[in-house]
Homo-oligomer: A and B are copies of this chain.
Amino acid sequence: MKPVNIGILGLGTVGKGAVDVLQNNAAEISRRLGRDVNVFMVSTRNAEKGCRICPPQTLITEDPFEVVQHPEVDIVVELFGGTDIAKKLVLTAIEHGKHVVTANKKLLAEYGNEIFALAEQKNVMVQFEAAVAGGIPIIKALREGLAANNIQSIAGIINGTSNFILTEMREKGSAFADVLKQAQALGYAEADPTFDIEGHDAGHKITIMSALAFGTPVNFDACYLEGISKLDSRDIKYAEELGYRIKLLGITRKSAKGIELRVHPTLIPESRLIANVNGVMNAVRVDADMVGETLYYGAGAGALPTASAVVADIIDISRLITADTGNRVPHLAFQPSQVKPQNMLPMDEISSSYYLRVEADDKPGVLGQIANLLAKEGVSIEALIQKGVIDKTIAEIVILTHSTVEKHIKAAIAAIEALESVARPVVMIRMESMHGRNG
Protein backbone atom coordinates (compact mmCIF):
# COMPACT_ATOMS: atom_id res chain seq x y z
CA MET A 1 0.00 0.00 0.00
CA LYS A 2 1.19 3.53 -0.67
CA PRO A 3 2.73 5.40 2.28
CA VAL A 4 0.51 7.74 4.29
CA ASN A 5 1.80 11.32 4.18
CA ILE A 6 1.77 13.34 7.35
CA GLY A 7 2.33 17.04 7.89
CA ILE A 8 3.51 18.12 11.32
CA LEU A 9 2.80 21.61 12.69
CA GLY A 10 5.49 22.57 15.18
CA LEU A 11 8.77 20.92 16.13
CA GLY A 12 8.72 21.56 19.86
CA THR A 13 9.19 18.80 22.41
CA VAL A 14 6.34 16.62 21.22
CA GLY A 15 6.83 17.43 17.53
CA LYS A 16 10.46 16.35 17.68
CA GLY A 17 9.35 13.33 19.73
CA ALA A 18 6.88 12.31 17.02
CA VAL A 19 9.54 12.55 14.32
CA ASP A 20 11.89 10.50 16.51
CA VAL A 21 9.30 7.78 17.14
CA LEU A 22 8.39 7.57 13.46
CA GLN A 23 12.06 7.24 12.50
CA ASN A 24 13.28 4.98 15.32
CA ASN A 25 10.36 2.58 15.09
CA ALA A 26 9.65 2.87 11.35
CA ALA A 27 10.14 -0.86 10.80
CA GLU A 28 7.98 -1.93 13.74
CA ILE A 29 5.23 0.52 12.72
CA SER A 30 5.20 -0.71 9.11
CA ARG A 31 5.13 -4.32 10.30
CA ARG A 32 1.92 -3.49 12.14
CA LEU A 33 0.28 -1.05 9.73
CA GLY A 34 1.19 -2.69 6.44
CA ARG A 35 2.31 0.63 4.94
CA ASP A 36 4.92 3.28 5.68
CA VAL A 37 4.26 6.55 7.49
CA ASN A 38 6.08 9.30 5.63
CA VAL A 39 6.98 12.60 7.33
CA PHE A 40 6.08 14.52 4.19
CA MET A 41 6.13 18.10 5.45
CA VAL A 42 6.91 19.96 8.64
CA SER A 43 6.38 23.55 9.67
CA THR A 44 8.78 25.14 12.14
CA ARG A 45 10.01 28.60 12.99
CA ASN A 46 13.53 27.22 12.77
CA ALA A 47 14.07 25.66 9.36
CA GLU A 48 17.64 24.68 10.15
CA LYS A 49 16.45 22.66 13.16
CA GLY A 50 13.82 21.07 10.97
CA CYS A 51 16.44 19.90 8.50
CA ARG A 52 18.54 18.45 11.31
CA ILE A 53 15.67 16.48 12.90
CA CYS A 54 13.59 15.31 9.96
CA PRO A 55 14.29 12.64 7.33
CA PRO A 56 16.05 14.01 4.20
CA GLN A 57 12.94 13.85 1.98
CA THR A 58 10.81 15.98 4.36
CA LEU A 59 9.69 19.39 3.07
CA ILE A 60 10.39 22.08 5.64
CA THR A 61 8.41 25.31 5.75
CA GLU A 62 8.04 28.23 8.12
CA ASP A 63 4.38 28.67 7.18
CA PRO A 64 2.08 26.18 8.90
CA PHE A 65 -0.80 27.17 6.61
CA GLU A 66 1.19 25.75 3.72
CA VAL A 67 1.11 22.34 5.43
CA VAL A 68 -2.63 22.23 6.12
CA GLN A 69 -3.42 23.06 2.50
CA HIS A 70 -0.83 20.90 0.73
CA PRO A 71 -2.59 18.45 -1.61
CA GLU A 72 -0.17 15.61 -0.80
CA VAL A 73 -0.70 15.71 2.98
CA ASP A 74 -3.14 13.04 4.24
CA ILE A 75 -2.94 13.69 8.00
CA VAL A 76 -2.11 16.96 9.77
CA VAL A 77 -0.45 16.57 13.19
CA GLU A 78 -1.17 19.74 15.17
CA LEU A 79 1.52 20.27 17.81
CA PHE A 80 1.49 24.03 17.46
CA GLY A 81 -0.13 24.70 20.84
CA GLY A 82 -2.39 27.48 22.05
CA THR A 83 -5.92 28.08 20.84
CA ASP A 84 -5.73 31.04 18.48
CA ILE A 85 -3.63 30.09 15.45
CA ALA A 86 -3.94 26.38 16.31
CA LYS A 87 -7.72 26.60 15.94
CA LYS A 88 -7.43 28.32 12.57
CA LEU A 89 -4.90 25.72 11.43
CA VAL A 90 -7.07 22.77 12.48
CA LEU A 91 -10.21 24.22 10.90
CA THR A 92 -8.33 25.02 7.69
CA ALA A 93 -6.89 21.50 7.58
CA ILE A 94 -10.37 20.01 7.98
CA GLU A 95 -11.75 22.36 5.30
CA HIS A 96 -9.10 20.94 3.00
CA GLY A 97 -10.18 17.36 3.78
CA LYS A 98 -7.23 16.51 5.98
CA HIS A 99 -7.50 14.17 8.95
CA VAL A 100 -6.10 15.72 12.13
CA VAL A 101 -4.15 14.40 15.09
CA THR A 102 -3.70 16.79 18.00
CA ALA A 103 -2.32 16.76 21.53
CA ASN A 104 -3.96 20.11 22.26
CA LYS A 105 -6.27 19.56 25.25
CA LYS A 106 -7.04 23.25 25.69
CA LEU A 107 -8.14 23.58 22.06
CA LEU A 108 -10.46 20.57 22.31
CA ALA A 109 -11.88 21.37 25.76
CA GLU A 110 -12.72 24.90 24.66
CA TYR A 111 -13.48 24.57 20.92
CA GLY A 112 -13.95 20.82 20.42
CA ASN A 113 -17.64 21.04 19.53
CA GLU A 114 -16.97 23.41 16.64
CA ILE A 115 -14.00 21.34 15.44
CA PHE A 116 -15.82 18.00 15.60
CA ALA A 117 -18.89 19.44 13.86
CA LEU A 118 -16.80 20.61 10.91
CA ALA A 119 -14.98 17.27 10.84
CA GLU A 120 -18.29 15.38 10.62
CA GLN A 121 -19.36 17.66 7.81
CA LYS A 122 -16.11 17.10 5.90
CA ASN A 123 -15.96 13.34 6.66
CA VAL A 124 -12.54 13.51 8.30
CA MET A 125 -11.24 12.16 11.60
CA VAL A 126 -9.84 14.23 14.46
CA GLN A 127 -7.91 12.03 16.91
CA PHE A 128 -6.58 13.20 20.27
CA GLU A 129 -5.18 10.31 22.35
CA ALA A 130 -2.20 12.47 23.35
CA ALA A 131 -4.43 15.23 24.72
CA VAL A 132 -5.30 13.25 27.87
CA ALA A 133 -2.80 11.45 30.10
CA GLY A 134 0.02 11.43 27.54
CA GLY A 135 1.03 7.92 26.55
CA ILE A 136 -1.78 6.08 28.37
CA PRO A 137 -4.33 4.87 25.77
CA ILE A 138 -7.26 6.14 27.83
CA ILE A 139 -9.21 7.77 24.97
CA LYS A 140 -9.18 4.42 23.17
CA ALA A 141 -10.31 2.64 26.32
CA LEU A 142 -13.20 5.08 26.83
CA ARG A 143 -14.34 5.19 23.19
CA GLU A 144 -13.78 1.56 22.24
CA GLY A 145 -12.61 -0.75 25.03
CA LEU A 146 -15.50 0.11 27.36
CA ALA A 147 -18.09 0.68 24.62
CA ALA A 148 -20.43 -1.99 26.06
CA ASN A 149 -20.80 -0.10 29.33
CA ASN A 150 -22.74 2.70 30.87
CA ILE A 151 -19.81 4.64 32.24
CA GLN A 152 -20.63 5.92 35.71
CA SER A 153 -17.64 7.93 36.85
CA ILE A 154 -14.04 8.79 36.05
CA ALA A 155 -11.40 9.98 38.49
CA GLY A 156 -7.91 10.79 37.30
CA ILE A 157 -4.50 11.95 38.42
CA ILE A 158 -3.98 13.77 35.14
CA ASN A 159 -1.48 16.51 35.94
CA GLY A 160 2.04 15.25 36.55
CA THR A 161 3.34 18.54 37.93
CA SER A 162 0.74 18.64 40.69
CA ASN A 163 1.21 14.97 41.50
CA PHE A 164 4.97 15.43 41.75
CA ILE A 165 4.49 18.35 44.13
CA LEU A 166 1.96 16.48 46.31
CA THR A 167 4.21 13.40 46.42
CA GLU A 168 7.18 15.48 47.56
CA MET A 169 5.09 17.38 50.11
CA ARG A 170 3.93 14.09 51.62
CA GLU A 171 7.24 12.25 51.54
CA LYS A 172 9.36 15.14 52.84
CA GLY A 173 6.82 17.23 54.72
CA SER A 174 7.96 20.24 52.68
CA ALA A 175 5.91 23.36 52.07
CA PHE A 176 4.17 23.88 48.73
CA ALA A 177 6.33 26.85 47.71
CA ASP A 178 9.59 24.98 48.35
CA VAL A 179 8.55 21.93 46.35
CA LEU A 180 7.31 24.12 43.51
CA LYS A 181 10.77 25.70 43.23
CA GLN A 182 12.33 22.23 43.14
CA ALA A 183 9.88 21.09 40.46
CA GLN A 184 10.74 24.15 38.39
CA ALA A 185 14.46 23.38 38.73
CA LEU A 186 13.83 19.78 37.59
CA GLY A 187 11.77 20.93 34.59
CA TYR A 188 8.57 19.37 35.98
CA ALA A 189 6.94 22.77 36.39
CA GLU A 190 6.82 25.80 34.08
CA ALA A 191 8.20 29.22 35.02
CA ASP A 192 4.53 30.25 35.25
CA PRO A 193 3.05 27.15 36.84
CA THR A 194 -0.53 28.48 37.16
CA PHE A 195 -1.93 26.33 34.38
CA ASP A 196 -0.79 23.12 36.11
CA ILE A 197 -1.12 23.87 39.80
CA GLU A 198 -4.45 25.68 39.68
CA GLY A 199 -6.16 22.78 37.93
CA HIS A 200 -6.69 24.27 34.44
CA ASP A 201 -4.74 21.52 32.68
CA ALA A 202 -6.52 18.76 34.62
CA GLY A 203 -9.79 20.59 33.94
CA HIS A 204 -9.26 20.45 30.18
CA LYS A 205 -8.52 16.74 30.35
CA ILE A 206 -11.43 15.73 32.59
CA THR A 207 -13.73 17.88 30.42
CA ILE A 208 -12.74 15.84 27.36
CA MET A 209 -13.14 12.52 29.19
CA SER A 210 -16.52 13.57 30.59
CA ALA A 211 -17.87 14.21 27.09
CA LEU A 212 -16.59 10.81 25.88
CA ALA A 213 -18.02 8.98 28.88
CA PHE A 214 -21.50 10.45 28.84
CA GLY A 215 -22.13 11.45 25.23
CA THR A 216 -22.31 15.20 25.88
CA PRO A 217 -20.67 18.16 24.11
CA VAL A 218 -17.39 19.31 25.66
CA ASN A 219 -18.22 21.92 28.28
CA PHE A 220 -15.14 23.36 29.97
CA ASP A 221 -17.14 26.31 31.29
CA ALA A 222 -19.03 23.91 33.57
CA CYS A 223 -15.83 22.55 35.11
CA TYR A 224 -15.12 23.53 38.72
CA LEU A 225 -11.40 24.23 39.23
CA GLU A 226 -9.53 24.26 42.51
CA GLY A 227 -5.76 23.79 42.54
CA ILE A 228 -3.16 22.80 45.11
CA SER A 229 -1.41 26.10 45.73
CA LYS A 230 -3.26 26.75 48.99
CA LEU A 231 -2.70 23.24 50.32
CA ASP A 232 -0.98 23.18 53.72
CA SER A 233 1.44 20.30 54.33
CA ARG A 234 -0.17 19.98 57.78
CA ASP A 235 -3.33 18.73 56.09
CA ILE A 236 -1.36 16.20 54.06
CA LYS A 237 0.15 14.96 57.32
CA TYR A 238 -3.16 14.80 59.20
CA ALA A 239 -4.79 13.03 56.25
CA GLU A 240 -2.00 10.46 56.28
CA GLU A 241 -2.45 9.88 60.01
CA LEU A 242 -6.07 9.06 59.26
CA GLY A 243 -5.12 6.65 56.47
CA TYR A 244 -5.59 8.95 53.47
CA ARG A 245 -3.49 10.46 50.68
CA ILE A 246 -4.31 13.84 49.11
CA LYS A 247 -4.28 13.87 45.30
CA LEU A 248 -5.36 16.47 42.75
CA LEU A 249 -8.15 14.61 40.99
CA GLY A 250 -10.20 15.40 37.93
CA ILE A 251 -13.61 13.88 38.64
CA THR A 252 -16.69 13.44 36.49
CA ARG A 253 -19.73 11.44 37.51
CA LYS A 254 -23.22 10.85 36.20
CA SER A 255 -26.14 10.67 38.61
CA ALA A 256 -29.88 11.01 38.33
CA LYS A 257 -29.49 14.71 39.17
CA GLY A 258 -26.96 15.50 36.46
CA ILE A 259 -23.27 15.40 35.62
CA GLU A 260 -20.51 16.43 38.01
CA LEU A 261 -17.34 17.90 36.52
CA ARG A 262 -14.66 19.09 38.89
CA VAL A 263 -10.97 19.32 39.76
CA HIS A 264 -9.82 19.68 43.34
CA PRO A 265 -7.50 18.21 45.98
CA THR A 266 -9.10 15.03 47.29
CA LEU A 267 -8.53 12.63 50.18
CA ILE A 268 -8.35 8.99 49.02
CA PRO A 269 -7.95 5.92 51.30
CA GLU A 270 -4.29 4.90 51.04
CA SER A 271 -5.20 1.28 50.26
CA ARG A 272 -6.61 2.27 46.86
CA LEU A 273 -4.32 1.68 43.90
CA ILE A 274 -4.76 5.26 42.64
CA ALA A 275 -3.64 6.64 46.00
CA ASN A 276 -0.25 5.01 45.34
CA VAL A 277 0.41 6.72 42.00
CA ASN A 278 3.39 8.91 42.77
CA GLY A 279 5.72 11.46 41.21
CA VAL A 280 4.90 12.71 37.74
CA MET A 281 2.97 9.54 36.79
CA ASN A 282 -0.69 9.68 35.78
CA ALA A 283 -3.57 7.27 36.32
CA VAL A 284 -7.22 7.25 35.36
CA ARG A 285 -9.80 5.15 37.17
CA VAL A 286 -13.06 4.41 35.37
CA ASP A 287 -16.18 2.97 36.96
CA ALA A 288 -18.59 1.36 34.52
CA ASP A 289 -21.70 -0.73 35.07
CA MET A 290 -20.63 -3.99 33.44
CA VAL A 291 -16.86 -4.15 33.82
CA GLY A 292 -16.74 -2.47 37.24
CA GLU A 293 -13.54 -0.64 38.12
CA THR A 294 -10.64 -0.42 35.67
CA LEU A 295 -7.49 1.67 36.03
CA TYR A 296 -4.96 2.90 33.47
CA TYR A 297 -1.50 4.03 34.57
CA GLY A 298 1.52 5.47 32.82
CA ALA A 299 3.50 8.56 31.86
CA GLY A 300 1.19 11.53 31.42
CA ALA A 301 3.71 13.80 29.73
CA GLY A 302 7.15 13.86 28.14
CA ALA A 303 8.23 13.94 24.52
CA LEU A 304 8.30 10.23 23.75
CA PRO A 305 5.26 9.02 25.77
CA THR A 306 3.14 11.80 24.24
CA ALA A 307 4.53 11.03 20.78
CA SER A 308 3.65 7.36 21.34
CA ALA A 309 0.00 8.42 21.56
CA VAL A 310 0.29 10.81 18.59
CA VAL A 311 1.73 8.04 16.40
CA ALA A 312 -0.92 5.53 17.57
CA ASP A 313 -3.50 8.02 16.32
CA ILE A 314 -1.68 8.33 12.99
CA ILE A 315 -1.77 4.54 12.68
CA ASP A 316 -5.48 4.40 13.56
CA ILE A 317 -6.35 7.03 10.97
CA SER A 318 -4.20 5.35 8.32
CA ARG A 319 -6.23 2.18 8.87
CA LEU A 320 -9.58 3.94 8.73
CA ILE A 321 -8.98 6.35 5.85
CA THR A 322 -10.74 3.96 3.50
CA ALA A 323 -13.51 2.93 5.92
CA ASP A 324 -16.95 4.27 5.17
CA THR A 325 -17.37 7.28 7.42
CA GLY A 326 -20.47 6.04 9.24
CA ASN A 327 -18.50 3.12 10.59
CA ARG A 328 -15.61 5.04 12.09
CA VAL A 329 -15.30 5.45 15.85
CA PRO A 330 -17.18 8.71 16.55
CA HIS A 331 -15.13 11.66 17.83
CA LEU A 332 -16.97 11.93 21.12
CA ALA A 333 -17.50 8.16 21.43
CA PHE A 334 -21.21 8.50 20.62
CA GLN A 335 -22.74 9.11 17.19
CA PRO A 336 -22.97 12.88 16.52
CA SER A 337 -26.79 12.80 16.59
CA GLN A 338 -26.59 11.15 20.00
CA VAL A 339 -24.31 13.72 21.62
CA LYS A 340 -26.70 15.64 23.83
CA PRO A 341 -26.23 18.28 26.48
CA GLN A 342 -27.15 17.07 29.93
CA ASN A 343 -27.75 18.88 33.17
CA MET A 344 -24.38 19.87 34.65
CA LEU A 345 -24.52 19.90 38.44
CA PRO A 346 -23.31 23.08 40.14
CA MET A 347 -20.80 22.41 42.92
CA ASP A 348 -23.40 23.21 45.60
CA GLU A 349 -25.35 20.14 44.49
CA ILE A 350 -22.59 17.53 44.38
CA SER A 351 -22.34 14.89 47.10
CA SER A 352 -19.08 14.18 48.88
CA SER A 353 -17.51 13.40 52.21
CA TYR A 354 -15.32 16.14 53.65
CA TYR A 355 -12.16 16.71 55.64
CA LEU A 356 -12.39 19.86 57.76
CA ARG A 357 -9.72 21.51 59.88
CA VAL A 358 -10.91 24.11 62.34
CA GLU A 359 -8.70 26.31 64.48
CA ALA A 360 -10.67 27.32 67.55
CA ASP A 361 -10.03 28.73 71.02
CA ASP A 362 -8.97 25.89 73.30
CA LYS A 363 -11.99 26.26 75.62
CA PRO A 364 -14.59 23.85 76.94
CA GLY A 365 -17.70 23.60 74.84
CA VAL A 366 -16.19 24.55 71.47
CA LEU A 367 -16.13 20.98 70.17
CA GLY A 368 -19.77 20.58 71.09
CA GLN A 369 -20.70 23.84 69.39
CA ILE A 370 -19.00 22.73 66.17
CA ALA A 371 -20.63 19.30 66.27
CA ASN A 372 -24.01 20.93 66.80
CA LEU A 373 -23.58 23.29 63.83
CA LEU A 374 -22.74 20.32 61.59
CA ALA A 375 -25.74 18.36 62.90
CA LYS A 376 -27.99 21.37 62.30
CA GLU A 377 -27.13 21.17 58.59
CA GLY A 378 -27.69 17.41 58.57
CA VAL A 379 -23.99 16.63 58.24
CA SER A 380 -23.04 13.46 60.09
CA ILE A 381 -19.54 13.05 61.52
CA GLU A 382 -17.33 10.03 60.87
CA ALA A 383 -14.44 11.21 63.04
CA LEU A 384 -13.69 14.29 65.11
CA ILE A 385 -10.18 14.58 66.49
CA GLN A 386 -8.46 17.31 68.45
CA LYS A 387 -4.95 17.31 66.96
CA GLY A 388 -3.30 19.45 69.60
CA VAL A 389 -2.91 23.00 70.72
CA ILE A 390 -0.98 25.61 68.76
CA ASP A 391 0.12 28.97 70.12
CA LYS A 392 -0.98 27.70 73.56
CA THR A 393 -4.59 28.87 73.14
CA ILE A 394 -5.73 27.60 69.75
CA ALA A 395 -6.92 24.01 69.34
CA GLU A 396 -6.71 22.30 65.95
CA ILE A 397 -9.73 20.12 65.30
CA VAL A 398 -9.87 17.70 62.36
CA ILE A 399 -13.25 16.37 61.25
CA LEU A 400 -14.15 13.72 58.68
CA THR A 401 -17.80 13.76 57.62
CA HIS A 402 -20.01 11.16 56.03
CA SER A 403 -21.39 11.93 52.57
CA THR A 404 -23.47 15.08 52.33
CA VAL A 405 -24.48 17.66 49.74
CA GLU A 406 -21.91 20.42 49.29
CA LYS A 407 -24.30 23.29 50.05
CA HIS A 408 -24.91 21.84 53.52
CA ILE A 409 -21.21 21.59 54.35
CA LYS A 410 -20.74 25.15 53.10
CA ALA A 411 -23.57 26.39 55.31
CA ALA A 412 -22.10 24.53 58.28
CA ILE A 413 -18.65 25.99 57.61
CA ALA A 414 -20.08 29.49 57.41
CA ALA A 415 -21.76 28.95 60.76
CA ILE A 416 -18.57 27.55 62.30
CA GLU A 417 -16.55 30.49 61.00
CA ALA A 418 -19.09 32.84 62.57
CA LEU A 419 -18.38 31.43 66.04
CA GLU A 420 -16.58 33.90 68.26
CA SER A 421 -14.07 31.20 69.23
CA VAL A 422 -13.08 30.52 65.60
CA ALA A 423 -10.72 33.15 64.26
CA ARG A 424 -9.49 31.66 61.00
CA PRO A 425 -11.13 30.20 57.90
CA VAL A 426 -12.01 26.51 58.05
CA VAL A 427 -9.91 24.28 55.75
CA MET A 428 -12.17 22.03 53.64
CA ILE A 429 -10.92 19.21 51.38
CA ARG A 430 -13.22 16.78 49.61
CA MET A 431 -12.89 12.99 49.96
CA GLU A 432 -13.53 10.08 47.57
CA SER A 433 -13.78 6.51 48.82
CA MET A 434 -12.91 4.88 45.43
CA HIS A 435 -14.24 1.56 46.55
CA GLY A 436 -14.40 -1.04 43.82
CA ARG A 437 -16.58 -4.14 43.79
CA ASN A 438 -13.69 -6.20 45.00
CA GLY A 439 -12.25 -3.67 47.41
Q: Which residues of chain A have a CB within 8 Å of any CB of chain B? A: 1, 21-22, 24-25, 28-29, 31-34, 129, 134-137, 140-141, 143-150, 215, 273, 276-281, 288-299, 302, 304-305, 307-312, 314-316, 318-324, 326-330, 333-335, 338, 436-439
Are B319 and A21 closer than 8 Å at their CB atoms?
Answer: no
Distance A405 CA – B136 CA, assembled complex (angstroms): 33
Distance A422 CA – B266 CA, assembled complex (angstroms): 55
Q: Closest CB of chain B to A230's CB: distance in Å?
A: 26
Nearest 7 pairs of A and B residues by beta carbon:
A137-B145, A148-B311, A294-B298, A135-B291, A291-B308, A295-B297, A31-B338
Are A295 and B294 closer than 8 Å at their CB atoms?
Answer: no
- Complex contacts, A143 vs chain B, CB 8 Å: 32
Partner of A147, one of B144, B292, B311, B333: B311
Partner of A439, one of B137, B278, B310, B326: B278
Partner of A25, one of B22, B149, B330: B149
Are A294 and B297 closer than 8 Å at their CB atoms?
Answer: yes
Known: A148-B311, A338-B31. A296 touches B294 (CB 8 A): yes
Are B322 and A327 closer than 8 Å at their CB atoms?
Answer: yes
Q: Closest CB of chain B to A27's CB: distance in Å?
A: 9
Known: A31-B338, A145-B312, A333-B32. A438 touches B292 (CB 8 A): no
Are A326 and B34 closer than 8 Å at their CB atoms?
Answer: yes
- Complex contacts, A305 vs chain B, CB 8 Å: 290-292
6 contacts between A and B (CB under 8 A): A34-B335, A135-B291, A273-B273, A290-B304, A291-B308, A297-B297
Known: A25-B150, A316-B144. A280 touches B438 (CB 8 A): yes
Are A279 and B439 closer than 8 Å at their CB atoms?
Answer: yes
Known: A25-B148, A338-B31. A135 touches B322 (CB 8 A): no
- Complex contacts, A278 vs chain B, CB 8 Å: 439
- Complex contacts, A307 vs chain B, CB 8 Å: 148, 290
Chain B's closest residue to A324 (CB) is B322
- Complex contacts, A338 vs chain B, CB 8 Å: 31-32
- Complex contacts, A28 vs chain B, CB 8 Å: 149-150
Q: Given known contacts A278-B439, A279-B438, A279-B439, what 19 new A-B pairs fall within 8 Å (CB)?
A: A21-B148, A25-B289, A29-B148, A32-B143, A32-B334, A33-B147, A137-B140, A137-B141, A140-B141, A144-B315, A147-B312, A291-B299, A291-B304, A292-B305, A295-B295, A299-B437, A319-B329, A322-B323, A322-B324
